[in-house]
Amino acid sequence: MSAVIESIETLLVDLPTIRPHKLSMTTMACQTLVIVRLRDSDGIEGLGEGTTIGGLAYGPESPESIKRNIDSYLAPLLIGQPADNLNALRARLARHARGNAIAKSALETALLDARGKRLGLSVAELLGGARHDHLPVLWTLASGDTAKDIDEAFQRLDEGRHRDFKLKIGANPVDIDVRHVAAIKAALGDRASVRVDVNQAWDETTAVRGIAALQDAGIALIEQAIPAREHAGLIRLAGRFRVPMLADEAVADARDGFALAAGGFNGAFALKIAKSGGPRGALALADVAQAAGIGLYGGTLLEGTIGTAASLHAWATLPEMAWGTEMFGPLLLKDDIVAEPLAYRDFGVELPTGPGLGITLDEDKLAHYSRK
Ligand code: MUC
Ligand code: MG
């Protein structure tokens, strides 16, 4: 008889960041990981992680709601069910619980990790097989200070760790932000590419002014300049400028992707397992993007090592992504809760080898950082 899901435990883990991380809607000094430990009747444990940014600042789920909704609603739907039929388990969650994409992503990750460990296969193998074992990773400059960001960029370049940079803007008036970005791009010159993420902070008129100036400054990509729901505006911006638009908050799952593509969007999509309810949903969005000729980007909600590894296993199954990945979450944190950190080298990261995610917890660190 196949294993059944026996228990699901959730932990809130608070890890300090290496420096304040300033986005348009919040400044982070700490990241809270919701860690899932799922145990099956054969003794196998699956690990999962859900994170968001700045409590409720980024989206409708907070770390506390992710934990509470798993504990009270989602875990009871899974406990006692056969552990190996991921399709049936995803359908059960979808039928009985709306929304809660980050919580569902943490659970799907734990289910995949346990199944991989049972079968001796990596999560990438469970998802069809890895096409890459090393993925490019950019770094986000978000100290809030132009000179510090330039120093940080040169450090990362000199270490061979990152050569593509994303700047978080939108918290300041547009002219100040444009000056900040242009100064960083001018300092880096041809040594590095620079893109921006506005995190929905501009209206369309401001976006037209800001993007025109950023395009002139040599910026490579403009991420989510206007509010997520304004699909028509995003499509207009994509048609208006040479510099491509990246849809992030606007595109959570395959349905959003289809709507944007059908409306004539011609930029790129940020894939995030957290937005899509797990790796499978993110890959479904990638299928829509590829069918529509829309570029791919491997995105993060600043997950720690477990969520980052889950994303890497998914991205590794795709053809080369036009815009690379931003799977640097663990590097933004002062410490980790795993025995073996991910290997960042050669401007990217190695895909961890399985079984499952290929990640083992450091129980002492987990206990130390878990919220009491
Ligand atoms: C986002 O909106 O892209 C990704 C990198 C980063 O610094 O923040 C995240 C969220
Ligand atoms: Mg973004």
Q: Which residues surround ligand 2, an ion (CB under 5 A)?
A: 197, 223, 248
Q: What is the DSSP string of 189-222?
A: GGGSEEEEE-TT---HHHHHHHHHHHHHTT---E
Residues in Cβ contact with 134 at an 8 Å cutoff, skipping those fewer than 6 apart: 346, 348, 349, 350, 351
* Alpha carbon of residue 370 to chain centroid: 22
First to last CA, the chain: 38
CB of 10 closer than 6 angstroms to any ligand 1 atom: no
CB of 197 closer than 6 angstroms to any ligand 1 atom: yes
Domain boundaries, the chain: 5-120+362-369, 126-350
Local structure of residue 346 (DSSP, 8 states): T
Nearest CA to ligand 1 atom 7: 140
Nearest CA to ligand 1 atom 2: 199
pLDDT at 76: 98
User: 297-336: per-residue pLDDT in tens?
Assistant: 999 999 999 999 999 999 999 999 999 999 999 999 999 9
Which-ligand-closest: CA of 53?
Answer: 1
Q: How many angstroms separate the CA atoms of 350 and 132, rounded? A: 9
CB of 200 closer than 6 angstroms to any ligand 1 atom: no
- Please say if the pLDDT value at position 1 is more than 80: no
- Please say if the pLDDT value at position 165 is more than 70: yes
- Other Cβ atoms less than 10 A from the Cβ of 315: the count is 28
Nearest CA to ligand 1 atom 10: 301
Centre of ligand 1 to C-alpha 170, Å, is: 13
Label residue 155 by pLDDT band (50, 70, 90).
very high
The tally of CA atoms less than 13 A away on the side-chain side of residue 325 is 32
Q: Taking each helix axis from N to C terminus, what angle separates 204-216 and 231-240, rounded to the nearest 10 degrees?
A: 30
Share of the chain above pLDDT 70, in %: 100
Label residue 2 by pLDDT band (50, 70, 90).
confident
The SS3 assignment for 188 reads helix
**126-350: CATH number:** 3.20.20.120
Q: Is the dihedral of CA 59, 71, 34, 96 positive or negative?
A: negative
- Please say if the pLDDT value at position 92 is more than 70: yes
pLDDT at 295: 98
pLDDT at 345: 96
Are the folds of 5-120+362-369 and 126-350 the same?
no
User: What value does the mean pLDDT of the chain take?
Assistant: 98
Query: Which position among 117, 168, 185, 272 bears the catalytic label?
Result: 168
Centre of ligand 1 to C-alpha 302, Å, is: 7
User: 214-266: per-residue pLDDT in tens?
Assistant: 999 999 999 999 999 999 999 999 999 999 999 999 999 999 999 999 999 99
CB of 199 closer than 6 angstroms to any ligand 1 atom: yes
Which residue has tokens 């000199």? Answer: 158
CB of 143 closer than 6 angstroms to any ligand 1 atom: no
Which whole number is the average pLDDT over 267-291? 98
Which-ligand-closest: CA of 248?
Answer: 2
The SS3 assignment for 152 reads helix
Q: How many angstroms separate the CA atoms of 281 and 293, rounded? A: 19
Pairing of the two strands 164-168 and 193-197: parallel
Q: How many angstroms separate the CA atoms of 51 and 337, rounded? A: 14
- Does the active-site annotation cover 168? yes
Closest CA to 8 of 84, 62, 85, 72: 72
Share of the chain above pLDDT 90, in %: 99
User: 12-62: per-residue pLDDT in tens?
Assistant: 999 999 999 999 999 999 999 999 999 999 999 999 999 999 999 999 999
Domain 5-120+362-369: top CATH class: alpha beta
Q: What is the DSSP string of 290-338?
A: HHHT-EEEE--S---HHHHHHHHHHHTTSSPPTT-B---GGGGBS--SB
pLDDT at 354: 84
Centre of ligand 1 to C-alpha 59, Å, is: 12
CB of 248 closer than 6 angstroms to any ligand 1 atom: yes
CB of 251 closer than 6 angstroms to any ligand 1 atom: no
